[in-house]
Structure 1
Amino acid sequence: MLSFASPWVFLLLPLPALVYWYAPPYRQPSQAIRIPFFRHVAKAVGAAPHSGVAVAGRSRLQTIVVICIWGLLICAMARPERLGDPVVVEKSARDVVLALDISGSMDQRDFRSSDGTPKQRLDAVKDVLRGFIAQRQGDRMALIIFGTRAFVQAPFTEDLNSLNGFLDQTQVGMAGPNTALGDAIGLGIRTFDTSEVEQRLMIVLSDGADTSSRMTPINAAAIAAEKGVVVYTIGVGDPNATGEDRVDLDALQQIASRTGGAYFFADDEAALTEIYQRIDQQNPRIVETQSYRPKQSLAHFPLLFALLLLLGSSITLHIVHSRRGVS
């Protein structure tokens, strides 16, 4: 489809005609030779002397060429464009932070895979997370890992393949053997400082009780609620264990309830997969849709035609004048 970005320029098309009809003619004095006996010469040839002007003539070809060139220049100034097919771009209005516990207890092999064989907790979680991340096309996601300390493993990104790469590099104990659940939530809140969307979702997965945080998980949850961050907590440890190996279900429940999220407990890989599906159902993705039509400028074509027409007419007139001079 052809369109013009500045169609009002076509109002200038009659401008040369207006100038030709209403503007005063251009006058330029020229030098002449005065002959004392000019009257005698004029009388001898039978001509009456009088003052006059010389008007340069223009052939019909020149007139047509000038009109065409002016029309092409006007067309170029109107900026012709070719409109492509509409392109719809969907941009997610949701940012998601995944906070993953990689303390020493995540090395336990008490998870059950789909075939019933025992599996390391972290391996089972990573397998489920890969599928969850793959379904987040359009979302921006960040990955936080925590043990004794909390770290940003991957900042917000829409490149989910790279996020899976960072997840694959995660190993048990690389952030320390203890559990800093409160610090992980606090780091997630700070990660959202760069977010400009309204829907902010944090998913925290932990298998132990908080033992090394500088901020308690409950205080961190209160701050998250003030910032509009909804936290979903998932417990994957043993609630009957002792010490740091015992998952603090009460703390996970309070964190979720304070932020408007939900708490879940998973003891095998199938239950963990179901939990992520339920999170999807409770938080449907909000999408911002933008539509545009790509434009390709065509202004160079009338300019090229005008140049070719000018060169062609100049060459033609030069040849005609040369032949007249020879004859």
Structure 2
Amino acid sequence: MSNLSWSSIEFLYPMWLWLLPLPLLITRIAPSYRTQQAAIKVPFFNLLVDALKLPTSDGASQLTPAKWQRILLCLSWVLILLAVTKPTLLGPPQVREQIGRDIMVVVDLSGSMAEKDFTAKNGQKVSRLDAAKEVLKDFAKTRKGDRLGLVLFGDAAFVQTPFTSDHQVWLDLLEQTRVEMAGQSTHLGDAIGLTIKRFEDSKKPLPTDKSREKVAIILTDGNDTDSYVPPIDAAKVAKVKGVRIHMIAIGDPQTVGEQALDMDTINTVANASGGQAFQALNQNELRNAYAEIGKLEPQLYQSTTYRTKQSIHQYPVMFLVLIHLFFFGFMSCKRAKQKSHQSKGEHHV
């Protein structure tokens, strides 16, 4: 069944095909081959030739090949040239993809994310979480080749989506998120700690994992409350583990009575891990923040197309040998029969 997938033939050394007309040029330019034969010398040779009207030659006879011999010679020459061009069967195109980055998107689901102080594209007021979902949909489209994960946090942090290359599955699970899923508080430090753990758990014993970039994008609208691990300490661990954290602070917490965002902590967390911090008070600024992160973390995705190759140069040679063996056997049998008939005729006489 696999042979049916071969789609084309490639000649590695096609320049040999320029020699196809060489035998024709040789027959046109070079003299014909002549073979010496025994002859009887008679003084009246010229009279005999004129009387019988026979063609003469200068002490030699010219061999004239039969039609089938000409065809065999031409076919042999073509097959030899085909073999030296090294014909190769090309398999169907196959794409080899190399994943560039692991990106963990961390979303705050505290109570304030339900506040409708963002404006959608259609002009309607939407909640901060819905605005984030809309922007993240566009962000996922720009991350071809990256593995995306999703961590949600509130009173506690949990993994909504482990790292996956199927962005549609990731978007479907993102769409299922609700504010009431995680509680009212904001355990930012615990979310960072869980994110680091997921990066460690996702490691595989492959050489490509050593060069894979690890990035976390944390979206929050509140200050850390009662995390087991302070956010700054968690960021220092992330730096050691090679995880860059980009922080996005959204909304205005004062509109719902929360403690104001501690931008110093957010900036420190981003800087300590090698990332950057952004503040978005509306949906356009949120979209710009993700666009800027896309510039800071450009795609490392690489795609190469290749086709499997299988040389078939041996088949023309095999076919040529079989043809010659067939004709050699055929002519040998024919000569043997002729000799047999001649011997029988002589014996009869």
TM bracket (short chain): 0.5 to 0.7
Q: Of residues 285, 289, 296 in structure 2, which corresponds to 1:282? A: 296
Q: Which amino acid aligns with 2:218?
A: V
Equivalent of 1:146 in 142, 153, 162? 153
Aligned equivalent of 1:29: none
- Map of 1:2 onto structure 2: 11
Structure 1 pair 318/93, CA: closer, same or farther in 2 (3 Å)? same
Cα deviation, residue 166, structure 1: 1.6
| TM-score normalised by L of structure 2 | 0.61
Deviations, residues 76-95 of structure 1 (Å, cap 9, x unaligned)? xxx96335799775634322
Alignment of 1:228-243 (within 5 A): 228-240=242-254
Q: How far 1:266 moved relative to its partner?
A: 1.1
Contact residue 146 and residue 301 of structure 2 kept, 8 A: no
Query: Match for 2:272 among 247, 250, 258?
Result: 258
- Is the CA contact 1:113–1:268 (under 8 Å) kept in the aligned structure 2? no
Over 3 Å counting, the alpha-carbon distance change for 1:126 and 1:250 in structure 2 is same
**Which aligned pairs between 1:104-253 and structure 2 lie closer than 5 A?**
104-193=111-200, 194=203, 195-240=209-254, 246-253=260-267
Deviations 1:207-263 (A, max 9, x none): 122224221111111101112221111111434367756433332122112112111
Unaligned runs of 5+ residues in structure 2 are: 1-9, 14-71, 204-208, 342-349
CA distance in 2, matches of 1:305, 1:165: 59
Residue 270 of structure 2 corresponds to residue 270 of structure 1: no
8 Å Cα contact 1:236/1:247 also seen in 2: no
Cα drift, residue 183 of structure 1: 1.4
Q: CA deviation at 1:121?
A: 1.0
Rounded Cα–Cα distance in structure 2 between residues aligned with 1:282 and 1:263: 12
Match of 2:101 in 1: 94
Q: Give the conservation status (yes or no) of the 8 Å contact 1:149–1:175.
A: yes
Distance in 1, Cα, partners of 2:109 & 2:332: 86
Aligned to 2:214, the other structure's residue is in SS state strand
Contact kept? 1:2, 1:83, Cα under 8 Å: no
Q: 1:241 to 1:82 in 2, by over 3 A?
A: same
**Structure 1 position 155, deviation (Å):** 1.9
Alpha-carbon distance between aligned partners in 2 of 1:100 and 1:317, rounded to the nearest angstrom = 87
User: What amino acid sits opposite 2:284 in the alignment?
Assistant: A
Unaligned runs of 5+ in 1: 5-63
SS state of the match for residue 232, structure 2? Answer: helix
Match of 1:295 in 2: 308
Could you give the per-residue CA deviations for residues 145-188 of structure 1, whole angstroms, max 9, x where no partner exists? 11222122222222222211121122222233322211111121
Structure 1 residues 307 and 239, CA gap change in structure 2 (3 angstroms): farther
RMSD: 3.9
CA distance, structure 1, for counterparts of residue 150 and residue 325 of structure 2: 65
Contact kept, 8 Å, 1:100 with 1:145, in 2: the verdict is: yes
How many residues end up aligned between the 2 structures?
261
Aligned with 1:253: secondary structure? Answer: helix
Q: 1:312 and 1:175 mapped to 2: Cα distance? A: 83
Aligned to 1:56: none
CA contact (8 A) 1:97 1:201 kept: yes
